Structure 1
Amino acid sequence: MDMIFAFLRTTFAAIVVTIALGGSAMADDAPLKIIVHPGQSDADVEQILDFAARSGRPVAIEVGQATTVSPGTAIPIPAAVAGNTGTTPATFSQVTSTQAVSQAPASSPPAALAPAAAAPAPAPAPMTPTPEMMATDMGMAKWSQFSAAFMRGATTALSGVGSLPTAMVMADEKLTEEGSSHGRVLLLALSTIAAAATATLILRRLIAAAFTREVPQGGRMTGIIGQSLRRMIGDLASVAFFLVATRFVFDLLGPQGEATTRMVRSIVTAIIVASLYVSLARLLFKKNHGGRSLVPINRPEWHFRILVTYGLISAAIAEMARLAGAIGIDSLIIDGWFLTGNTLLTLLKLYWFIGGRNDIRDAFISDNPGIVRRVAGNLLPEFYVVTALALWLICVLFAGTPNSARWIFAAGTTQMALLALPILALGAHALVDDFTRHHERVRGAGLGSSLLASLRVLCAGAVWIGGLHLITAIWSPFMGGQAADATGWILWLERLSFAIVASWAVASFIWHYSEALAPSPAIMLPGHEDQNEKRQTSRLSTAMPVVRNLALGAVLAVGALVILSALGVNVAPLLAGFGVLGLALSFGSQALVKDIVSGIFFIAEDAFRIGEYISTGSQQGTVEQIAIRSVRLRHHNGPIHTVPFGQISSVSNYSRDWGTIKFQLKFERESDPELIRKTAKKVGIAMLDDPEFGADFLVPLKMQGIQDITETSIVVRFKFTSLPGNPSIIKREAIKRLISACKAAGLEFASNAVTVKSRGEMHDDAAAATMLQPLAPVASSA
C-alpha cells in the first residue's frame, strides 16, 4: 500500500513538472504568427521579421483584412514580407501564439498596402478580454496542446509496435537478396560471440593465475576503491579484447553480404554494450574480499540485477533502432520503437526506485548524517521517481517530431547522470574522508586534516556543479526561443552553487581547525576526578571557540550576502540597514555589549583557560566553556555556574604555575615537636622518590610549625608546593603517609576525650565522700 501511495504521489508531481516544462518547450517549437495590417511600412515589417528570426522559432505571416474587398481581389504584400517568407498565409493554420504588428495611423497609408478599389469601412470595436478570460484561454490552450502531443506520442508508439511485422519483412527481403536468412545471421552471431567469449575467458584465467596476490583485508575506503577499480580495469580490458576477437572471428568466417554484416555487428555491439553495463554493475555492487561493495547499499545483488537488466534492454533497443535506420525503415516507426523501449525502461526504473527506496535512502544518508543530508536522503527516491516519469512524458510529448531521437537521447542521458551524481559525490566524499581519518591517525588532528576536511566538501560540491553543467549542456539545444532566459537562470544557479560550496568549505575548515586546537569538551563525572589526567591548555585553544563562533558568523553573513546578490537582490541597502540596526542594538543592549567587551579583554589578558579552577568572588569552579558573553564554571559539587563577563570584577586562578597546599594535624600535648618535624621530613623525602608523585613536587612536604595549642592538643601545620593539576590527590596521599609514619614513631593524635586529674588519692576520696553526704532536712515554719 505504501508503494502504491508513493507511486501515485510521484506520478502527480511528474505530470505537473512535465506540463510546466514541456508546455513551454512545445510553445518554443510552435510557429510565431505575425499579422501585418494595412498601414505598416516596409521598414517596420522588416524589423519585426528580423526580431522573429532571431528568436529561433518558425515564423508565420498573415496579412490582416481591414477593408471590405471582393472575393477575387488580391491584397498586395509588402516587399519585406515577400522577401522573408515564401509561404502564403493560408499555409499557417495551426498557431500557438500571436504577435501583432502595431497598426500605423490610417491617415497616411503607404501605397504598397493600399487597396486598389474599395472605401474603408469602419471596423467594429474589439472586446477587451479580462485577465480571468486570458488566463482561462491560456490554460485551455496549454492543456489542449499537452493532450494533443500526448495522443500523438501514444499513436506513434502503437504504430511502431504494429509495424514490427513490416520491418521484419523488409529485413527478410534484404537478406533474401543476398542469399542469406535470419537463421544464418543468428548462427554467425552466436559463433562469433562464442569463439570470442571463449578466448576472452581463457585470457582472464591466465592473467588471474599469473598476477594472483594476497589482497589485504581492511575496511579502509581506499582499499575498497582499489579493489573495485582493479576489477573494473580487468572487465574493461576483457571487453576490449572481446571486441577485437569478434572482429577477427567474423573476418575468419568469410565475406558476407551488407545486410548480414550489419545484423551480425548489431547483435555483437548490443552484447558489448550490455557487457559495459555489467562491468559498471560489478564496480558498484559487487562485494569485495572484505564483504563490502563500493556503494554501501542493502541488497547489492538485487540492485546488480536491476542495472544489468536495464543495460540489456537499452542495448537491444538502441541497436535495433540503428539497424532499422540502416535498412531504410521509416523514422516514424523507429520513433515508435524508441518510445516503446523507453516505456519499458521507465517501468523498470519505477520498480527499481520504489522497490529499493529504503536501500537508496539508507545508502545516501549513511552514518552520522547532518540535517541537510538526512532531508536529501529522504527525498532522493521520490525525486528519482518524479524525474523518471517526467523524462518519459517528455519523450512521449515529442515523439514523432523531427528531433524526437535527440529528445529521447537527452532524457536517457539525464537519467543516467542523475543516477551517477549521488554515487560520484558520495564516493569522492568518502575517499577524501578516508584520507582525512588516516592522516589524523598518523599525524594527529591539525592544519593538514582541516584542509582535507574542506577538500572533502570541495570535491563533493565539484561533482554536483559538474553534473549541473552536464545537464545544462544536454538540454541547452532544446531551449529554443527561451535560450537566453534559460542561460541566465543557469548562470544564476551556478553562482549560487559556487557561493554555497565555497562558504561551506571555509566554514568546514574553520570548524575542524578549531576542533583540532580546542580541548575536547569532556565532562568530568563524579568519582573520576583522580583517574582523569588534567591537560594544560594553551591560550589559542582557549580563545579558539570564541574565534570560531565569530569566524563562522562572519562566513555565514558573507555567504548570505553573496547568495542574495546571486539572487539579484541589491545588498547595499541591506548593509546600510544592518549598520543602523547594529547602532540601535548597541545603545539598547549596553549590558550585552559590556559582557562581550569584558570577555574579549579577559581572553586577551589570559586571565583563565579551559580546565582551570578559578573563583570570581561569588562563584568558583573549573572552566568548562568560554562563550562570547559568558563563562561556564563547573563547581566541585556538580552545579554549573554561567557567569557573564560583565559581572566579573576579579578572578582568582588556582591553576597557574604552582600552588602551596597547607593542612593541619592535632597531636597530644605531650608529643615531641622535633620528632614530628623529622617524621614529616622523612615522609616528604619518600614522596619525592615516588615515581607517581615525585615529578609534581616543587618543594617537598615539611612541617611548617606549631599553629596553636589548645587545652587538649597542639595544632601542627604542614605544607608542600607542587605543580597545578592534582594538589588534592597529593594532599590526601601526604596525610595518609603522615598518619602511618606518626603511629610508627609513637606519636599520638589528639582526641576529644576530657581527662580530670588531681594531686592525691586522699583528697579525691574526701571530695567523693563530701559529694555523697545526704542533704540536711530543711525546716519549715508553721
Structure 2
Amino acid sequence: MHVLPGLQRLSILLIFLLCLVVMLPAKAAIPGAGTLPGQTASTDAPSAGALNDSLSQVISTLENDQQRQALLESLKQLQQANEQRKDADTGSSGLLGALASSISTFDGQDRTGFLARWKLKAIKAGQDLTSRMTLSVGAGRLLSHFLMTISIWFGIGWGLKWLVRVLARYYSWDISLPEEPAFIAVLRYFLRRALPWSIAFGATLGIASLLPASAGITLGMVMAYVSLAGLLFRLICEIIFSLFGYGHRRIAQRLLRQRALGRLFVIGALAALGDAANADEVRQLVGNNLGSFLSEMANLAAVVITGIFIIRFKRPIRHLIQNSPYPQRKQRSNAMVLMYALGRIWHIPATLFVAALFLSVITLSGDARSAFAKAVFTAGLLVVVLIINGVIRRHREQERPRGKRRRYSLYWRRLSRFGYTVLQLISWVIFLEIALQLWGYSLTQARDPQTLWQYVAHSLLSLGTTLLLAWLVWIVLDTAIQQALKSTMKTHRGRHQSTRAQTIAPLIRNVVFVTISVITLIVVLANLGVNVTPLLAGAGVIGLAVGFGAQTLVQDLITGVFILIEDTLAIDDFVDVGGHMGTVEKLSIRTVRLRDLDGIVHSIPFSQIKSIQNYSREFGIALFRIRIPHELKIDDAMKMVQEVADELRQATFGRFYIWSPLEFQGIDSFDNGAAILRAQFRTSPVKQWEVAREFNLRLKRRMENDGINMAMSRMSIQMESGDPVQGAAPLHHSGATSNGPFPGDGPVRGPSHGEDPT
C-alpha cells in the first residue's frame, strides 16, 4: 500500500520526538537560583567569626525593607526553579538516559564547534600515538610478545577443537546444528564451538599473568578478547535463528545463517574492542586520548554496521517474527495478531535505537562514550532471555501428564500452563532488573513520586502481580467447580453426568468469573490511585434500584439458581412444566426452553414454574392394563402375557431398555364383565412408552396367531310377547363380549341365518 511508507515515517518522527521529551536531563541546572547571604560552596565547617559575620549580614538584611524584599524575590525565584527541577526529575531516562545530556549539548552548539571537538580529539590521539612510537620500546620485542600471546591462544584453541572433533567422531555425536534443534543439540553445538576458545582464553590469561607485564602481551590479550566476544555473539545469534526453524521460517532462517553471521561477528568484535579500549591497562599502554578515540571509533563503526544489518536483513527477520504453523494462524489469537504487527514495524524502533546510539557516540558527552557497550550488553541479555523463553516454550509443548498425574490431569494441565507463564514473566523481570542495574537504576529502589519511571515501574509490577493472582484464583476455582460436578455425579450414568455439567457449569463459572473480574478491577483501580469508594457506593445504589425495578427478573434468577443447584432440570430431560411437555433444549439463568412432541419450542420463565414432572430421572415404569377375553382363562392369559414379556426381554430392544422382569399386580378391575389385568416393567428413563408400544404389538400378534379375539362389549336381545313362546328365553340385555357367555349374562339367543357365530 502507498500509505505504509508515510505511516512508517510518521511513526519514526513521533517516537523520536517522544524520546527527546523523555530523555531531558534529570539534573539540569536551576535557573535563577542564587545563594543566600553568607552561603559558601565549601563543605568545611565555618569558623565562629565567619558564622557571626553571616548572622550579622542576615539580620541587617531582614531589618532593611529593600534588602528584605530582594531576598523574598530571590526565594520565590528559587522556589520556581525548584518546581521546574521537580518536573524535570519526573522524566524517564530509561535505556537511553546517557543520551539526554548529549542531545541537549548537541542542540545548544553549532556544527563548527562540534566538528572542532572531534578534530581536537583526533589531534590528541595522534599525539599519544606519536609519543608511544618514539618511546624506547623495541618494535621487535612488542611484535614478538604479541605473536607469542596470539599463538598460545590460537594453538590451545585449535588443539581443544581437534580433540572435540575426535571425541565426537569416536562416540558418533552429531555436533551440527539442525534447523529444528532440540535443547541437547543446542547445548552440544554451543559447547563445541565456544568451549575450546573460552578455555584457551582462560589458559592464555593465566600464562600471561605469570609473565612480566608487556605491551605486546596486553595487545595480544585484547585481540583474543575481541575475537572471543565476536564468536560468542555470533553463536548466540545463530542459536536464536535456529529456534525459529519451524513453520514457514526455514527459508529466512537459512538465509540468515548463510549471510548474516559474518556481520554479527564483526559487530560483536567491535563492541568488545570499544569496551577493551576503555580498560585501564590499555589506556596506560596507548594513552588516555588514544584509548578514548579508539573506543569511540569502534563503537561508531559497530553502530553503522548494525544499521546496515537492520536494513539488509529486514525482510528475513520479519518472516521469522510473523510466520507460524497453520494451526496457530487458524486460531488467529491476540498473540498472533501482535506478533504479525511487530514483524511489520520491528525495524522502526531498531533503527531509532541505532540512531540514538550513533548520536550518543558522536556527541562525546560524559557517559555517552560507553553507551554502546551498555546497549550491546543489554542486547546480549535480551538474547539470553529469548533463548530461555524458547526453551520453556519447547518444554511446555513436549510435556505430557504421566503416571500419577493422570488423576489430576485437569489441575496439572492448567497449573503447569500458569507455571510456564510465570517463569517467562520472571525471566523478563530479571532481565529488566539487570538492564536497569547496568544503566544505574533498579526496580528494588523505593518508589519516588517525583521520579516518573520508578512510579510507572512499581505500578506496572503491582498490576501484573494482581492480574497473576486473579488468574491463579480463577484457575483453582474453575477447576474445582468442574471436579466437584464430576465427583458428585459418579453414581449416575454418563449421559446424565455430562448434561448436568453442561447445564450448571456455565452458570457457576460465569458467576465466579464476574466476581473475580470485579474484585480485580477494584484492586487495579485502587493501585492506580482511583478512589473506589464512590464507585462502590454507586454500584450499590444501582443494584438496589435494579432489584426494586425488576422484581420479576430477580425472582426468575433466584428460582433458576435453586432449580439448577438442586438438579431438578437438566438438558435433554423429558419434563412436564407449566402444562407443556417436551425435551429440555436449553437452560439459561432466567428461562427454560422446551421442544414439545409437535416440534414447537416453548420458553418458560422460572418464576412461572410451580411444579415439575421429570420423566428422565433414574428409571421409568411401563404400565399395562390388559382386557382378558371372556373365553380365555385368567391363568392361561397370565401365562401368555408372561411368555410375550420374556420374549421381549430376550430381544435386542429389551436388553437395553427393560431393567426388570414383568411384575403382575393382579386384577385391577372389571369392565363390562371383562377382567382388567395390571402389569408393569421397569425401564430406562423416557423409554417406558416405547417399551409399552413394543409389548402391545407383540401381544397382539401372539393373540392373532393363537386365534384369540380381544375382549369387547356384547349386546344380547330377546323378544317376548304376552305368552311366552315355547323354547324362548326372556328378553335380556348384557354388556358382555360376544366370545361366550359369562355368569350373569342370561340365556343367549341363537344366531340368525347368515350371521357369524363368533
Q: TM-score, normalised by structure 1?
A: 0.65
Correspondence for 1:484: 451
Q: What fraction of aligned residue pairs are identical, expressed as a percent?
A: 19
Q: Please say if residues 660 and 722 of structure 1, whose CA atoms lie closer than 8 Å, have aligned partners that are also in contact.
A: yes
Correspondence for 2:423: 459
Q: Please say if residues 622 and 692 of structure 2, whose CA atoms lie closer than 8 Å, have aligned partners that are also in contact.
A: yes
Deviation at 1:549, TM superposition (A): 0.9
Correspondence for 1:507: 474
Q: 1:387 aligns with which of 317, 337, 349?
A: 349
Cα separation, 1, equivalents of 2:313 and 2:476: 38
Cα separation, 1, equivalents of 2:502 and 2:222: 68
Correspondence for 1:493: 460
Deviation at 1:411, TM superposition (A): 3.1
For 2:17, give the aligned amino acid: I
Deviation at 1:179, TM superposition (A): 1.0
Deviation at 1:557, TM superposition (A): 0.6
Q: 2:197 aligns with which of 230, 242, 245?
A: 242
Cα separation, 2, equivalents of 1:698 and 1:343: 85
SS of residue matched to 1:301: helix
Deviation at 1:395, TM superposition (A): 1.7
**In angstroms, what is the RMSD of aligned CA positions?**
5.7
Gaps of 5+ in 2: 44-49, 55-60, 72-100, 175-179, 487-492, 712-750
Q: 2:611 aligns with which of 637, 650, 662?
A: 650
User: Closer, same or farther in 2 for the Cα pair 1:486/1:231, shift >3 Å?
Assistant: closer
For 1:301, give the aligned amino acid: R
SS of residue matched to 1:459: helix
Q: TM-score, normalised by structure 2?
A: 0.67
Q: 2:540 matched to 1:573?
A: no
Q: How does 1:349-368 map to 2 (within 5 A)?
A: 349-363=310-324, 366=328
Q: Please say if residues 632 and 641 of structure 1, whose CA atoms lie closer than 8 Å, have aligned partners that are also in contact.
A: yes
User: Closer, same or farther in 2 for the Cα pair 1:192/1:599, shift >3 Å?
Assistant: same
Q: Which moved more, 1:642-651 or 1:178-187?
A: 178-187
Q: Please say if residues 536 and 611 of structure 1, whose CA atoms lie closer than 8 Å, have aligned partners that are also in contact.
A: no
Deviation at 1:603, TM superposition (A): 2.5
Q: Please say if residues 546 and 626 of structure 1, whose CA atoms lie closer than 8 Å, have aligned partners that are also in contact.
A: no
CA deviation vs aligned residue, 1:404-428 (integer Å, no higher than 9, x gap): 1443234334445556656655654
CA deviation vs aligned residue, 1:256-289 (integer Å, no higher than 9, x gap): 98444344434433443344345435644448xx
Correspondence for 1:21: 19
Correspondence for 1:53: none
Q: Please say if residues 432 and 455 of structure 1, whose CA atoms lie closer than 8 Å, have aligned partners that are also in contact.
A: no
Deviation at 1:31, TM superposition (A): 3.5
Q: Please say if residues 575 and 582 of structure 2, whose CA atoms lie closer than 8 Å, have aligned partners that are also in contact.
A: yes
Deviation at 1:485, TM superposition (A): 2.9
For 1:462, give the aligned amino acid: I
Correspondence for 2:34: 36
Q: How does 1:700-779 map to 2 (within 5 A)?
A: 700-701=661-662, 719-724=680-685, 759-760=752-753
Q: 2:271 matched to 1:318?
A: yes
Q: 2:589 matched to 1:589?
A: no
CA deviation vs aligned residue, 1:643-675 (integer Å, no higher than 9, x gap): 432232322212112111357999999999877
Deviation at 1:312, TM superposition (A): 0.9
For 1:109, give the aligned amino acid: Q
Cα separation, 2, equivalents of 1:153 and 1:386: 31
Q: Please say if residues 628 and 634 of structure 2, whose CA atoms lie closer than 8 Å, have aligned partners that are also in contact.
A: no
Correspondence for 1:603: 564
User: Closer, same or farther in 2 for the Cα pair 1:540/1:142, shift >3 Å?
Assistant: same
CA deviation vs aligned residue, 1:587-633 (integer Å, no higher than 9, x gap): 12222211211112213333123443333225554445544333455
Q: How does 1:322-471 map to 2 (within 5 A)?
A: 322-325=275-278, 326=282, 327-328=286-287, 329-363=290-324, 366=328, 371-382=333-344, 384-399=346-361, 400-416=364-380, 424-425=388-389, 428=392, 431-432=395-396, 434-435=398-399, 442-443=406-407, 445-471=409-435
User: Closer, same or farther in 2 for the Cα pair 1:722/1:626, shift >3 Å?
Assistant: same
Q: Please say if residues 630 and 643 of structure 1, whose CA atoms lie closer than 8 Å, have aligned partners that are also in contact.
A: yes
Cα separation, 2, equivalents of 1:182 and 1:459: 51
Cα separation, 2, equivalents of 1:640 and 1:459: 51
CA deviation vs aligned residue, 1:227-281 (integer Å, no higher than 9, x gap): 3145315633652333224565899999898444344434433443344345435
Q: Please say if residues 25 and 478 of structure 1, whose CA atoms lie closer than 8 Å, have aligned partners that are also in contact.
A: no
Correspondence for 2:715: none
Cα separation, 2, equivalents of 1:709 and 1:396: 110
Q: Please say if residues 144 and 216 of structure 2, whose CA atoms lie closer than 8 Å, have aligned partners that are also in contact.
A: no
SS of residue matched to 2:568: coil
Deviation at 1:575, TM superposition (A): 1.1
Q: Please say if residues 445 and 516 of structure 1, whose CA atoms lie closer than 8 Å, have aligned partners that are also in contact.
A: no
For 1:316, give the aligned amino acid: A
Gaps of 5+ in 1: 51-78, 84-102, 114-140, 214-223, 520-531, 751-757, 765-782
Q: Please say if residues 514 and 545 of structure 1, whose CA atoms lie closer than 8 Å, have aligned partners that are also in contact.
A: no
Cα separation, 1, equivalents of 2:647 and 2:575: 31
SS of residue matched to 2:621: strand
User: Closer, same or farther in 2 for the Cα pair 1:382/1:503, shift >3 Å?
Assistant: farther
Q: Please say if residues 149 and 398 of structure 1, whose CA atoms lie closer than 8 Å, have aligned partners that are also in contact.
A: no
SS of residue matched to 2:661: strand
Q: Please say if residues 581 and 596 of structure 2, whose CA atoms lie closer than 8 Å, have aligned partners that are also in contact.
A: yes
Q: Please say if residues 546 and 628 of structure 1, whose CA atoms lie closer than 8 Å, have aligned partners that are also in contact.
A: yes
User: Closer, same or farther in 2 for the Cα pair 1:619/1:602, shift >3 Å?
Assistant: same
For 1:320, give the aligned amino acid: L
User: Closer, same or farther in 2 for the Cα pair 1:505/1:633, shift >3 Å?
Assistant: farther
Q: Please say if residues 263 and 323 of structure 1, whose CA atoms lie closer than 8 Å, have aligned partners that are also in contact.
A: no
Correspondence for 1:272: 228
Q: Please say if residues 228 and 283 of structure 1, whose CA atoms lie closer than 8 Å, have aligned partners that are also in contact.
A: no
Cα separation, 2, equivalents of 1:737 and 1:151: 110
Correspondence for 2:735: none
Cα separation, 1, equivalents of 2:17 and 2:402: 50
User: Closer, same or farther in 2 for the Cα pair 1:478/1:664, shift >3 Å?
Assistant: closer
SS of residue matched to 1:411: helix
Q: Please say if residues 285 and 303 of structure 1, whose CA atoms lie closer than 8 Å, have aligned partners that are also in contact.
A: yes
Deviation at 1:546, TM superposition (A): 1.8
Count of residue correspondences: 647
For 2:232, give the aligned amino acid: L
Q: How does 1:300-319 map to 2 (within 5 A)?
A: 300-304=253-257, 308-309=261-262, 311-319=264-272
User: Closer, same or farther in 2 for the Cα pair 1:249/1:581, shift >3 Å?
Assistant: closer
For 1:555, give the aligned amino acid: I
Q: 2:504 matched to 1:546?
A: no
For 1:408, give the aligned amino acid: F
User: Closer, same or farther in 2 for the Cα pair 1:537/1:251, shift >3 Å?
Assistant: closer
Q: Which moved more, 1:168-177 or 1:368-377?
A: 168-177
Correspondence for 2:183: 228
